[in-house]
Amino acid sequence: MDWYDILFYAFAVLTIGSAIGVVFSRNIVYAAFSLLFTFFGVAALYVLLSADFIAITQILLYVGGVLVLIVFGIMLTTRAQKVEVKQGFIRLLPPVLVAGIIAGTLIGVLTTTKWPAAGLAPYEETARPIGALLMTTFVLPFELASILLLVALIGAVIIARREKTRRV
Amino acid sequence: MPMHVGLVHFLVVSAVLFSLGIYGVITRKNAIMVLMGIELILNAANINFIAFTRFGTMNISGQVVAVFVIILAAAEAAVLLAIVLNIFQQMNTVNVDEVDKLKN
């Protein structure tokens, strides 16, 4: 039990605990706030996996982008007097069963599989090889992703814009 | 289970995160809460990719795939929020079970 293990368990508990908060919270604002800690916990797990570039990207894009979008969506679509999330309590058993079965199956398979034990490589910086791979092996997905981002940007603006002239 | 933290530990965390995301997606009625569940699922997938990059025989390619997953998640969140805002303007609700009209 060294520092690595202690840090891992701390961040794993943070991640899963806040994810439970996201899923089970009655208040949508609290759920979004828990999601913040989930994203930070996942970024910390990336650091423990020596993926520094991905960890920074996670914080910048998820915490700085996606979470802000989600909070904007909550503010714009939720009225102040009815903040509670509508949830069907009568049919709560089947989803718990489904999620439990999925989790049990996955964990059972993961813990019984004999994974190939590769020697742990020493830490090395990841930004440079990621950039090189993006420009060589993954250049087609990279360009497609840029086109997708452009399309998503234009599409989001067009969809969300309030149309003044046309009465729908 | 090995004594030290290894591949399996990260995979188990990812599996739990994935199941919680599935639970959120199938129980919540608010479209934004469904989006939060999807984000949890995508994060779980990313943890798997990066864990295999670190511990498996996969080289740094796993991290590149994780970058693409993050890009897709951002684009998806933007488009979904735009759709949700539009639905809210048209139908005055964001609960996915009440949005059941194709035309007004």
User: Is the Cβ pair A54, B67 closer than 8 Å?
Assistant: yes
Whether residues A75 and A18 fall in one domain: yes
- A-chain CB neighbours of B104 within 8 Å are 168
Distance, in angstroms, between B79 CA and closest chain A CA? 5
Range of the domain at A49: 1-85
Whether residues A20 and A72 fall in one domain: yes
User: Is the Cβ pair B26, A103 closer than 8 Å?
Assistant: no
> ipTM of the predicted structure?
0.89
Helix ranges restricted to H, B4-60: 7-27, 31-55
- Alpha carbon of residue B27 to chain centroid: 15
Tell me if A57 is assigned to some domain. yes
Which of A54, A85, A116 lies at the terminal end of a domain, its last residue?
A85
pLDDT: which is higher, B71 or B1? B71
List the beta bridge partners of residue A84: A27
Q: What is the DSSP letter of A91?
A: T
pLDDT band, residue A37 (cuts 50/70/90): very high
Tell me: pLDDT of B3 over 80: no
Position B1 scores a pLDDT of 46
User: Is the Cβ pair B82, A168 closer than 8 Å?
Assistant: no
Position A85 scores a pLDDT of 54
Tokens 């004594």, residue located:
B3
Whether residues A5 and A74 fall in one domain: yes
For residue A34, what are the CA distances in angstroms to A40, A122, A139, A142, B97? Answer: 10, 33, 36, 32, 25
Tell me: pLDDT of A143 over 90: yes
